[in-house]
Amino acid sequence: MALLVDKHRPRSLETLSYHQDLSDRLKSLAQSGDFPHLLVYGPSGAGKKTRIVATLKELYGPGVEKIKIDSRVFQTTSNRKLEFNIVASVYHLEITPSDVGNYDRVVVQDLLKEVAQTQQVDLSAKQRFKVVVINEADHLSRDAQAALRRTMEKYSPNLRLILLANSTSNIIAPIRSRTLLVRVAAPTEEEICSVLKVVGKKEGFKDVEALNKRIAKDSGRNLRKALLMYEAVHAQNETVSENTPIPPPDWEALIAQVADDIIKEHTPQQIMIVRAKLYDLLTHCIPATMVLKTLTFKLVPKVDDTLKAEIVKWAAFYEHRVRMGTKVIFHLEAFVAKVMRILESFLMNMDF
Amino acid sequence: MPADIRSFFGGKPAGTPAKKDEPPAKKSQKGRKRAIVDDSDEDVVETKPKKTTPRKKQAQREPSPVGETTTTSEFFGKSKPKRSEPVKSKPATNGSTATPSKKTNGTTASSTKTPPSKPRTNGRTSSRKKNPPKPADEIEDDDHAFDDEDLEDDDVFEAGFKKGPRHDSYKKDLDEDEPLLPQQRRAGRKQKPTKADDDFEPEDEDVEMEDVEEEAVKPKALERNAKDKPASESSSTKKRKSPELDDEEDDYASPKKGKAAKRSPAKKKTKKDEVQDSAEVQAILASIPTIRAPSPPPKDGQSAKFNWRTAGNATAVPSAAGSKEKPVGAENCLAGLTFVFTGVLDSLDRTEGQELVKRYGGKVTGAPSKNTSYVVLGSDAGPKKLETIKAHGLKTINEDGLFELIRKLPANGGDSKASAKFEEKQQKEAQKVEEMAAEMEKEERRVGGAGGKASASGKTAAASGPDSRLWTAKYAPTALNQICGNKPAVEKLARWLRNFPKNQRTGFVMGGADGSGIYRAVIIHGPPGIGKTTAAHLVAELEGYDVVESNASDTRSKKLVETGLRGVLSTTSLLGYFAADGEKVEESKRKLVLIMDEVDGMSAGDRGGVGALAAVCKKTQIPMILICNERRLPKMKPFDHVTYELPFRRPTTDQIRSRIMTIAHREGLNIPGNVINALIEGSRADIRQVVNMLSTAKLDQSNMDFDQGKQMSKNWEKHVILKPWDIVTKIMGGGLFAPASKSTLNDKTELYFNDHEFSYLMLQENYLGTTPMLASSIHDPKERKLKNLELVEKAAESISDGDLVDRMIHGSQQQWSLMPTHAIFSFVRPASFIAGSMAGHQTVFTSWLGRNSTQGKLMRMIKEIQGHMRLKTSGDRHEVRQQYLPILWEQLVNKLQEEGKEGVDEVIDLMDSYFLTKDDFDAIMELGIGPMDSKDVKLETQTKAAFTRLYNQRSHPLPFMKASNVIAPKKQAKERPDIEEAIEESDEGEVVEEVKDDEDEDVDVTKDKYIKQPKKKKEPAAQKGGKGKGKKAKAEVGEDSEEDEKPKKGKAVAKGKGRGKKA
């Protein structure tokens, strides 16, 4: 009994429920025998990975689904040992180089070369090449990306790369030019609703159209999120109706609290209270940019119209700083102080 | 004007020879007249007690003029009036009739200044001369009843006197005033009225003065009326007059030094002899400033301060608001006076002020008492201090008052009581120093002699030759009374050592008077250079012990302590120890004491040494004295309860001073007491350092003044590295950003560098806790709140800027030269906004470090979870955290929480389906936040137990192969060590070895290995795949089923898994 999202994950290109044309193209690519390097990008929860897995199955047959996790140790130039997990089947490897932070270059160099320099031995295999799926390719460091580019050409008889990214902006042009770009757009709300409906039917849940719509809307067109929310709603309520509240994830609830704190009182002491909560969020692995973004979206509806632009502006300003700096809490706190000051001076009818 | 006047003066002497000729004759008269004057004064004195002091002063002054030549006297006679005039004019400005009079002030002031520019001697003489005339004035004026005013207002000063009379004279006959003086000299008082006019007109200077005076006259008259009524005003006038006093006093002071020779020294001696008189005179001088700020309550003090300041501006201080010139005074002029500083001074910071006082021989104490001579009052004075000031009726002055004091007071504090006392004390001290020096010399000779005898044959030469020892050794105390400070501790040590044999006999059970009887060892601790080692050695010697010493230069590891001390500690070997030493020792049966010096210096090389030593302390049969600097260090913990603690404190300056002076004396260094004080304070009472400093100084100089001393102690300064807490308190609450603060940007940056890793973190943690100074002036609470927020916002922004700089430093660019920039952005600038009182806020340690490591830990957990879930899910770790975790928490943790035991099965199924382990369960619990906070989770112990039991009973699918045996062929040589490492870490020795063997075989045939391995993997993978579909791997109790965790490696693992799953 896995969660719905994994339980009902489509396993072949045929069963994918939306972006039909994309599925068709992938299918023909897989069957063509000349499979290119792929760079698959799209927002989180759009179905990139699912499509890739389905494509791989199309390429190699069901053997691809027999996967295991392998843990390997790499040594950096500074003699530091890196433990690195690889998800692998006979036909493909799946790696997340950004797991090892700045040392991703080592992993990319060593591992890819090792894989690329060996040929497929299984004569019964459908394809002569192996596939390496690189997750979070947009988090690859410049060095690692540079290390990739030559490998892609040199070892192309033995190796195909599939890069997965949220956006192509962080991927260097040479790599982009060596890959086939595949954009997987987020599903529309209607598509999400239809998926929810199908899943609900399979699980025997009562179908409430309006609730599904709300979930689709709240999920921000993230199908994974939508499915998990859907499950959460149904798990917590015996019977659901249109008005059944959708339980927010823990961290969102806390950020909502923070927003309330900021609105409620504007004093240095309050900033300290807020700081503690922000620290909690950060330590519990909520990325600072996510905190800032969510916080802004929670704040904006609560403030006067004239202030909205200002707040969004500063949120953007500090999000940039969060990315530029190291100690994110400093920037978050500066944002909070800024917002409090803006609110306070607005209350005093002063211009700022 | 001034130029004219000068020329006048210059010309006069030349032009007035005739007059001069006359004066000699008159001078003799003067002498008589003075006597008369005195009489008259005395009469007044009788009526009003206050006046007594001033008159005496005058009396003293009288003698000095006698010695002078006529010409000078005339000169002064003329010049004096001018001085006095300015004074008069000032009162006018102060009075209600303001503007015109001020102008006059300016002119007069300039005129007043000119006289000083002339040779000082003139000035002095003039002052003296003044005195005599004044009395005359008084006498005349008495009729006009100005006496009363004078008495009230001016008792304290002569100046007051002078002015008083003059005013009066102005009132009645302005012209008379100046004429009077000359008249008196020439003709006597009776002639005055008539002669005054005559004399006056001819003299050009006087005329000039007149003009000024005339302008001022009216205001003065008005003032007078005012004066008569309110007492407070009168006090203000006094203050104004004080500037004059300065001149006079300076004059007074200088004569003592330089002119003593010129004027009949006999007279001066008489002054000194009449201790009372002179003391009183000085007391008067000293009291001048007091009057200015007579009101103990703070407000009054402030008002007084204001008046005082205006007066001060008129005289010397060029009213550049921010910084005032530091006064230069006579040497040691504050001798014998005790000062207390309170509040924030205008232009000085506290330490500067205190240093100023010390420089001139004054004493600074922390809290006022009845012995305090002056309280230097600033704004925001402590209420407690103000109370005591009120209670004791202490004199309060402000910083200008202090400056005036320094400027006015004569060298060595003049003849005031305080200075007399001080002098007496100093003399005593000097005497003592000499005595000690003599004693020391004697001792030395004795020792030298003894040494000579002992080493009769060969070493005599060495003994008699120049002493090449370090001063610290040369002047090490040789008797208990020579140890500076810590008397009680030393006595305790001696007592303990004396009683040791007795305690040993009784088995260390009787505590004795001070409870030291139960200890076999003593630990002396205290800062360096205060004589711990010296005391220990000395006491040991005096109590007849032979010393075995061990210090940080010896290795003192556990082994060495145990073996090395064995010979020393047991009594049996003790005898053997001494048997070898010769009969003499045997006879006296000298005892042994072990001194373990620098115990806290037992470091990495002395592994286990502290523990071993502590153990030895418990059973030793000879006394042990341990010495260390820091008793509180955690590594000194073993000594708790096994040693008797004797804390040594820094001796006070007084305790050291005489010793140091003795040494200086012996070495022929001429160093005044206050310099030695400065040295001692500069080194924080480190005797050894002071002695070393002296020895260095001796190399190239034979005396040292205050500045040199300060400089030296600054050069030798031990740099105290502030702790993060102190740094942040200092930068935010230390008044560094107060308008009066003198600290530079550099100073503030320097603070950051005291601990550049923590200072800014600490600031960031605490900056919200202040009450910003910049907002404190706003009274509207709402506006202040906004201002506060603005400041906080700016500070926060600056900190955020600082982080960007930090990134440049610690990021890939490594721009370490940006450190100062970082200091400014992340530390100084934020502090500049929010600096202020930190009251009500407790400085907390930065939470960033803790938070950061928690984040690291939780991030690792997330990675782990994501790694396990990876086969089933597609999200990265952020998606897992943000999207999966809430629902997993709901379905795992919350389920257990709500359904209890019933939920256990389902929970475990879910976990297995995602390959989550029990650790992951705990991690999920811990990762909850807000409404899912792990603190709010209450799992019943029963549920927990059931969960654990059930979980352990079942076998669980493990997708995981720990530590790879697949190695990049190229890298093999390099990487093999890694694998070994990894294997070692995994704690599975045996399995590891097998795997290694496999590998070795594989290595030979690289290609084969590659083929093989996929096979190896394939199997498990396939099985897993099956597992994935069929899932529910029930617990089949194979050999390995109980130890699910184990099957991590190689084939064994795969098989184990396979079995479990298929079944």
pLDDT in tens, A163-214: 999 989 889 999 999 899 999 999 999 999 999 999 999 888 888 889 999 9
ipTM of the complex: 0.92
Euclidean distance between CA atoms A274 and A278, whole angstroms: 6
Residues paired with B342 in a beta bridge:
B377
The nearest alpha carbon in chain B to A325 belongs to B804
Torsion of CA B750, B754, B757, B759, to 10 degrees: -70
Tokens 């509240």 correspond to A245
Q: Are B170 and B144 in contact (CB under 8 A)?
A: no
- B12 — alpha (psi -120 to 50), left (phi > 0) or beta? alpha
Tokens of A37: 């390097």
Contact A250 B975 (CB under 8 A): no
Tokens of A105: 């270059």
Other C-beta atoms within 10 Å of B454: how many? 10
Evaluated on CA atoms B486, B491, B497, B500, the torsion sign reads: negative
Question: What pLDDT was estimated at residue B189?
Answer: 43
Euclidean distance between CA atoms B629 and B640, whole angstroms: 15
Euclidean distance between CA atoms B887 and B646, whole angstroms: 63
Q: Using a CB–CB cutoff of 8 Å, tell me whether A218 touches chain B.
A: no
Assign A34 to helix, strand or coil: coil
Euclidean distance between CA atoms B856 and B864, whole angstroms: 12
Amino acid B189 reads R
Q: Are B878 and A287 in contact (CB under 8 A)?
A: yes
- Considering only CB atoms, A285 lies closest to which of B789, B799, B858, namely B858
Give the count of alpha carbons within 13 A of B22, CB side only.
Answer: 12
Euclidean distance between CA atoms B165 and B168, whole angstroms: 5
Residues paired with B522 in a beta bridge:
B625, B644
Contact A228 B962 (CB under 8 A): no
- Considering only CB atoms, B803 lies closest to which of A86, A282, A327, namely A327
Largest CA-CA distance found in chain A, in angstroms, rounded = 79
Q: Using a CB–CB cutoff of 8 Å, tell me whether B999 touches chain A.
A: no
Tokens of B159: 């100046």
Give contacts of B800 with chain A, Cβ < 8 Å: 318, 321, 325, 330-331, 333-334
Euclidean distance between CA atoms B489 and B494, whole angstroms: 9
Euclidean distance between CA atoms B390 and B384, whole angstroms: 10
- Considering only CB atoms, A118 lies closest to which of B891, B913, B1010, namely B1010
DSSP state of A188: P
pLDDT in tens, A107-128: 888 888 888 887 777 777 778 8
Q: Using a CB–CB cutoff of 8 Å, tell me whether B1015 touches chain A.
A: no
Q: Using a CB–CB cutoff of 8 Å, tell me whether B881 touches chain A.
A: yes
Largest CA-CA distance found in chain B, in angstroms, rounded = 140
pLDDT in tens, B406-415: 777 776 665 5
The DSSP annotation for A237-275 comes to -SS--TTPPPPPPHHHHHHHHHHHHHHH--SHHHHHHHH
Question: What pLDDT was estimated at residue A190?
Answer: 92
Q: Using a CB–CB cutoff of 8 Å, tell me whether B796 touches chain A.
A: yes
The nearest alpha carbon in chain B to A166 belongs to B876
Which residues have C-beta within 8 Å of that of residue B94, sequence separation ≥ 6? B223, B236, B237, B240, B307, B310
pLDDT in tens, A17-52: 889 999 999 999 988 878 899 999 999 889 899 999
Q: Using a CB–CB cutoff of 8 Å, tell me whether A99 touches chain B.
A: yes
Q: pLDDT tier at A274 (50, 70, 90 boundaries)?
A: very high
Euclidean distance between CA atoms B384 and B391, whole angstroms: 11
Question: What pLDDT was estimated at residue B488?
Answer: 87
Euclidean distance between CA atoms B470 and B491, whole angstroms: 27
Residue B320 sits at the vertex; the CA angle it makes with B316 and B326, to the nearest 5 degrees, is: 55
Q: Which residues in chain A (136-195) have CB-CB distances under 8 A to chain B?
A: 136
Q: Which of B788, B881, B887, B988 has the most A C-beta neighbours within 10 Å, making it the best mutation to test the interface with A?
A: B887
Contact A330 B800 (CB under 8 A): yes
Question: What pLDDT was estimated at residue B129?
Answer: 42
Give chain B's residues under pLDDT 50: 1-4, 6-277, 281, 284, 288-289, 291-322, 450-464, 571-576, 583-588, 963-1063
Give contacts of A251 with chain B, Cβ < 8 Å: 882, 886, 929-930
Euclidean distance between CA atoms B405 and B907, whole angstroms: 86
pTM, rounded to two decimals = 0.58
Residue B834: which of B768, B761, B888, B736 has the closest Cα? B768
Give the count of alpha carbons within 13 A of B798, CB side only.
Answer: 24
Q: Are B768 and A272 in contact (CB under 8 A)?
A: yes
